[in-house]
Structure 1
Amino acid sequence: MPISLSVIKNKLDDHIGQPILVTAQAGRRKVTERHGILRETYPAVFVVELDGESAKFERVSYSYTDILTQNIAVDFE
């Protein structure tokens, strides 16, 4: 597990433009998986452009803190 937010950001910076799978806790016993492309990283958040027509949103953003606290899991495809 990464130790700091800067380490997480640096690791994500290396994967900009690559396919990504974000698994998030959506509530009690519910897990949401979103496939997309890692588009941008900012000082506090990163942006994922979602794949598919079934998605309600075109892009979503997540905080590096979500990864650190294990609220989301990120896998590169």
Structure 2
Amino acid sequence: MANSSLTAIKRNLDHYIGEKIMLKANGGRKKTIERTGVLEETYPSVFIVKLDEDNNSFKRVSYSYADILTASVELTICKDDGQVKITSGI
């Protein structure tokens, strides 16, 4: 079941490559990291986000689809006609 959920998350993200996104990640110790960038690429196990350069010390970050499945990372796609939140769907 988990493998099919991870595949579904990847397929969902594939539609949004090149789109602007906001992500919230668990930074540990009750700390949440919020970043904006562009969904650059999806791979079989991870996705890559190119961050907005002026706000971040890193140029790119990667997260696994399991991070979305376990809600360690919240991903929101920013589109002209509104926002789309990517979830595990469970």
Q: Normalising by the residue count of structure 1, what TM-score does the alignment of the two structures yield?
A: 0.92
| Corresponding position of 2:45 | 44
| Corresponding position of 1:18 | 19
Higher helix share: 2
Deviation >4 Å, runs of 4+: none
1:26-41 pair list within 5 angstroms: 26-41=27-42
In the aligned structure 2, how far is the partner of 1:62 from the partner of 1:74? 11
Output the amino acid matched with 1:24: A
Deviation at residue 32 of structure 1 after TM alignment: 0.4
1:22-65 deviation digits (Å, cap 9, x = unpaired): 10111122110010000100000000000032311100000000
Output the amino acid matched with 1:41: T
In the aligned structure 1, how far is the partner of 2:32 from the partner of 2:51? 17
Among the aligned pairs, what percent are the same residue?
49
Q: Which has the higher contact order (CA 8 A, sep 6+)?
A: 1
The secondary structure found in structure 2 opposite 1:48 is strand
Q: Normalising by the residue count of structure 2, what TM-score does the alignment of the two structures yield?
A: 0.79
Output the amino acid matched with 1:7: A
The secondary structure found in structure 2 opposite 1:53 is helix
| Corresponding position of 1:63 | 64
